[in-house]
């Protein structure tokens, strides 16, 4: 079994980076949906939450392979490829959860601020500030999903020792070799990370 600390650190790095990346475009999209009342677009993102992860991995593989349109970037079987795949995976979750939170804040605090004479920028700033705990909760949920991702990590990461191997792909490898004790230890670490961030998401959501 590869060094547990190294695999865990790599998993945290990939999942955290993917969550931050998805948030950079997901939260602005969520605000646009909430402020413009684009309910059809919101429904599309909520439907995409359930998209099979192996399908995302396959599409990304086809894009990044040597024969694909992005093959020249040489990203296949790198941590960057896994980050991109996981970012795409969790974007609908961030958009779907954040837009409902932002809509409630805009309806409550944004309109109140506007009625008291605040500018559009001031009203938007207030609505965003009041939404921060809920948005943080959606990011924590996204991380919890990304950290246990297997299909994307295998297809575009290749499970390369010391480079793209994560907790989930390590578990799959140990099980395939019959090393169930090591697989259980890795699973316990993965479960702890996932539960920890799920609890954080619930606490942050409650505060929001």
Nearest alpha-carbon partner for 161 in 172, 170, 152, 153: 170
For the stretch 18-36, pLDDT in tens is 999 999 999 999 999 988 8
Residue 5 in tokens: 């600390």
For the stretch 80-104, pLDDT in tens is 999 999 999 999 999 999 998 888 8
To the nearest whole percent, how much of the chain has pLDDT over 90? Answer: 59
Please check whether residue 132 is in contact with residue 101, taking contact to mean a CB–CB distance below 8 angstroms: no
Q: Tell whether the model's pLDDT for residue 37 goes beyond 90.
A: no
For the stretch 181-192, pLDDT in tens is 999 999 999 999
Does this model's pTM top 0.95? Answer: no
pLDDT at 206: 59
- Would you give the DSSP letter of residue 71? G
Q: Tell whether the model's pLDDT for residue 113 goes beyond 80.
A: no
Please check whether residue 106 is in contact with residue 41, taking contact to mean a CB–CB distance below 8 angstroms: no
Q: How far apart are CA 133 and CA 128, in angstroms?
A: 10
Residue with tokens 């290749």: 158
Contacts of residue 145, Cβ cutoff 8 Å, sequence gap at least 6: 89, 90, 93
Nearest alpha-carbon partner for 86 in 147, 139, 141: 147
Q: How far apart are CA 132 and CA 50, in angstroms?
A: 25
To the nearest whole percent, how much of the chain has pLDDT over 70? Answer: 92
Contacts of residue 163, Cβ cutoff 8 Å, sequence gap at least 6: 78, 79
Residue 69 in tokens: 């349109």
Residues 63-68: what's their mean pLDDT? 93
* Residue ranges covered by each domain of the chain: 4-207
For the stretch 124-165, pLDDT in tens is 787 788 888 888 888 988 998 999 899 999 999 999 999 999
Q: Which CATH number fits domain 4-207: 3.40.1280.10, 1.10.3720.10, 3.40.190.10, 1.10.150.120?
A: 1.10.3720.10
Q: Tell whether the model's pLDDT for residue 121 goes beyond 90.
A: no
Residue 118 in tokens: 């605040």
Residue with tokens 């599409």: 59
Mean pLDDT (the chain, rounded): 88
């Amino acid at each position: 079994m590869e060094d547990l600390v190294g695999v865990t650190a790599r998993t945290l790095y990939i999942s955290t980076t993917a969550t931050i990346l998805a948030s950079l475009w997901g939260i602005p999209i969520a605000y646009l949906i909430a402020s413009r009342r684009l309910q059809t677009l919101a429904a599309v993102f909520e439907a995409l939450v359930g998209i099979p992860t192996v399908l995302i991995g396959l599409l990304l593989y086809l894009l990044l392979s040597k024969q694909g349109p992005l093959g020249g970037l040489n990203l296949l079987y790198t941590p960057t490829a896994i980050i991109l795949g996981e970012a795409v995976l969790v974007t609908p979750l961030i958009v779907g959860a954040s837009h409902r939170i932002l809509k409630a804040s805009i309806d409550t605090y944004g309109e109140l601020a506007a009625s008291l004479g605040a500018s559009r920028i001031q009203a938007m700033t207030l609505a965003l500030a009041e939404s921060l705990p809920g948005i943080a909760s959606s990011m924590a949920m996204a991380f919890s999903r990304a950290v246990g991702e297997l299909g994307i990590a295998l297809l575009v990461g290749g499970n390369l020792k010391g480079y793209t191997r994560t907790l989930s792909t390590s578990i799959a490898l140990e099980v395939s070799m019959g090393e169930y004790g090591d697989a259980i230890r890795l699973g316990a670490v993965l479960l702890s990370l996932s539960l920890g961030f799920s609890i954080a998401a619930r606490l942050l959501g409650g505060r929001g």
